[in-house]
Amino acid sequence: MKRAAETGWAAAMRAFSFPLNVYAHLLQQVEGQADYLHFAVFEHGQNDVRRAQERASELLWQALPPPCRLLEVGIGLGTTLARLRAAGYDAHGITPEPAQIDAAHARHGTALPLTCSRLEDYADHAGQWHALLFQESAQYIAPLALFEAAERLLAAGPATLVVMDEFALKRDEPGHTGLHHLAHFQALAARFGWQLEQHIDLSQAVQPTLDYLLRTTRSERDALMRELGLDAAALDGLDAALLRSQALYRQGVYGYALLRYTRPGPAAARPVALDAARADAMRELFARVFGHAMSADEWRWKYGDGRGHAVGLQRDGELVAHFGGMTRRVHAAGQDLLACQVCDVMVAPKARASLNGSGPLLAITATFLEQQIGWGAPHAVGFGFPTTRAFRVAEKLGLYREVDQMVRLESTLCGTPEAHRTAAARVDDWGSEGALDPGQRAIVDELWSAMRVSAGARVLGVRDAAWIEHRYRHHPSRRYRLLLLRSRWWRRPVGLAVLRTHDDGLWRVVDLVAPVPRLNEMLGRAAAWAGTQGASRVECWVTRSQLPLLEGALPGAASVHPLEISVPESAWTEGLRITADRRWLLMAGDADFT
């Protein structure tokens, strides 16, 4: 019976996901027994990895509350959970990996209470737990999702949250990715009402764990390939990852911490991640704040299919603040990156009055920026189009930094439609409806490629066919005219212009796709074409830094006007910076409301 249990235990460990299967195998074969999969905490001069792992467990144990109803998130090999049960805790463990459950049951018996589930999906005994324990599992769960799950699962009274894990201690370079930022994690905990009672920095003490893993994976390489069926590429990749972690620890970029949080009860107002399930609540708030409705179709156009992200502030089950952003591919510094275009920032008037003035805005903006924008986040840079007044509020709170402003070029067109026909020659009107056909898509992609190559140090949103089609052809309520501009002699495509009509004879040139040196010419020809359609005025928006590209392009009496719209970047998080020699090229079509 014992031999069968050992066989099942070994088979379960081999079935662990990579590289946990490697770590379990090394501890079992090299050290003689595997009890834990977590980092070891070494004392000075110590080299016994199993003893160092026991020291880590001892430190963790000291941070736990007295016996209570406790949920362990991530079970490793089940050793901690079995010990908790033996000490009188009403403890239960969850893991998304079935092999870990098999291994824990093989080692500790099938009575050990385990559930195969992610924390985000777990719902058993919601509102009845008194403590949550994360040992090197928090890094795999989005922080906002983690704290939301804690709100859902923990009892309404006093509660404890213990986290022992790796963190990023700073993010000031593109390569600083992969772990939750410790300062951001702690700030988010505070927004949920958690009080930090204990913080032990173990960064130096755990670093020998990486040395041990590098040494043993190399010495046991052949055995690992034979016993676990791994190939050389997998082990080479693991070696590179361990070397990278080793370097980042030594540079002070990565760290390791034991955190103990308590709270007397849930916070009155807390951040929430907003998705399709909360779209109706968002649209109701939008109507209250802005005085007009956002349709369900427009919400899907912005946020559907992973295009958008949003954080809200919820009080007593009601959404009282919202901060949204849409993912936009941008070309910057010679490469394509993901940017986040901020939109739909709003706070209900009653929340501004009852939640300490700027508190709601600070809470949702800081939470969004920490989760979405900067090195180590999904988006390297952020931008938006707040009014100057709204920008100043965010700037005062330390959230935004102004990098440019939007201006409007306007011209009053003179003469009859016939007077503009010569300047408007060689224009193909692609109309305002219907998907682009394959030939049109190929032309747009070619024009975008030429624009990208000629952009220099400018930062500009990707304007390929897929984006042009979504932005202008799929907009749920507005219609845009697409014009293909051809060379006068050879009729080759030289630019694409997007126009929108307004009341009183105003036409707006919303967007241009063309080599940057030809934008001036393309704007002039697009304005002339609008004149052939009876336009009496033409306007175009552009960032102030790029105004020289378009000055003199509009026919007639042209003038430049400030729009009282700022272009900010995040001052709260570190990411791609817009500098004097790296400026945004933005137009009206880059905004979501034009």
What is the arithmetic mean of pLDDT over 262-290? 94
Q: How far apart are CA 269 and CA 154, in angstroms?
A: 16
Residue 9 has pLDDT above 80, yes or no: no
On the question of pLDDT at 539 being above 50, the answer is yes
Q: What is the pLDDT of residue 8?
A: 59
Q: Quick one: what percent of the chain has pLDDT higher than 90? A: 82
**477: confidence class by pLDDT, cuts 50, 70, 90:** very high
Task: Give yes or no for a contact between 580 and 337, defined as CB atoms under 8 angstroms apart.
Answer: no
The pair phi, psi for residue 136, each rounded to 5°, is: 55, 35
**DSSP code at position 588:** G
Amino acid at 536: S
Tell me how far apart the alpha carbons of residues 369 and 268 are, in angstroms, rounded to a whole number: 22
Least confident range of 80-89, 349-358, 513-522: 349-358
| Residues in contact with 305: Cβ distance below 8 Å, sequence separation at least 6, in sequence order | none
Mean pLDDT of 256-282: 94
Torsion of CA 175, 180, 183, 185, to 10 degrees: 160
Q: Report pLDDT for 141.
A: 97
Helix residue ranges per DSSP H, 31-172: 49-63, 79-86, 98-108, 143-153
2-263: CATH class? alpha beta
Average pLDDT of span 102-113: 94
pLDDT tens for 12-59 read 777 888 999 999 999 889 988 889 999 999 998 888 999 999 999 999
Alpha-helical regions (H) of 229-318: 232-250, 279-290, 296-303
Q: Which residues pair with 164 in a beta bridge?
A: 135, 258
Q: With contact defined as beta carbons under 8 Å apart, do 486 and 492 qualify?
A: yes
Q: Write down the domain spans for the chain.
A: 2-263, 269-374, 407-590
Above 70 in pLDDT, residue 416?
no
Question: Average of pLDDT values for 305-324?
Answer: 94
68 burial type by CB count under 10 A (0-12 exposed, 13-18 middle, 19+ buried): middle
Q: Which amino acid is at 532?
A: T
Q: Which of 1.10.10.10, 3.30.70.260, 2.130.10.10, 3.40.630.30 is the CATH number of 269-374?
A: 3.40.630.30
Tell me what percent of the residues of the chain surpass a pLDDT of 70: 96
Average pLDDT for 340-369: 84
Q: Is the pLDDT at 7 greater than 70, yes or no? A: no
Strands 427-429 and 460-461: unpaired
Residue 452 has pLDDT above 70, yes or no: yes
Residue type at position 191: R
C-beta of residue 443 within 8 angstroms of C-beta of residue 492: no
**Whole-number Cα distances in Å, 161 to 70, 116, 157, 265, 358:** 10, 21, 13, 12, 28
Residue whose C-alpha is closest to residue 271's, from 153, 331, 188, 181: 188
Question: How do 195-201 and 159-168 pair as beta strands?
Answer: unpaired
Place of tokens 């956002």: 294
pLDDT tens string 199-209:
999 999 999 99
Q: What is the pLDDT of residue 494?
A: 94
Predicted confidence band at 1 (pLDDT cuts at 50, 70, 90)? Answer: very low
CA distance 588 to 594: 6
C-alpha pair distances (Å), 136 with each of 10, 501, 594:
22, 56, 46
Of 73, 75, 76, nearest to 23 (Cα)? Answer: 76
What tens digit of pLDDT does each residue of 483-501 get? 999 988 888 999 999 999 9
Residue 121: strand, helix, or coil:
helix
Question: How sure is the predictor about 419, in pLDDT bands with cuts at 50, 70 and 90?
Answer: low
Please give the Cα distance from 87 to 67 (Å, whole number): 7
pLDDT at 354: 53
In degrees, to the nearest 5, what angle opens at C-alpha 166 toward C-alphas 164 and 168?
135
> Do 269-374 and 407-590 have matching folds?
yes
pLDDT at 392: 94
Give the model's pLDDT for residue 128.
97
Of the candidate CATH numbers 3.40.630, 3.30.750, 3.10.110, 3.40.1350, the domain formed by 407-590 belongs to 3.40.630
Instruction: Give the pLDDT confidence score for residue 2 in this predicted structure.
Output: 43
pLDDT score, position 237 = 97
| pLDDT score at 151 | 96
How many CB atoms sit inside 10 A of residue 79's CB?
19
Q: In this model, does residue 356 exceed pLDDT 90?
A: no
Question: What is the reported pLDDT for 353?
Answer: 59
**pLDDT confidence of residue 415:** 64
Average pLDDT over residues 535-563: 92
**What's the whole-number average pLDDT of the chain?**
93
Report helix, strand or coil for 370. helix
pLDDT > 60? residue 166: yes
pLDDT interval class at 427 (50, 70, 90): confident
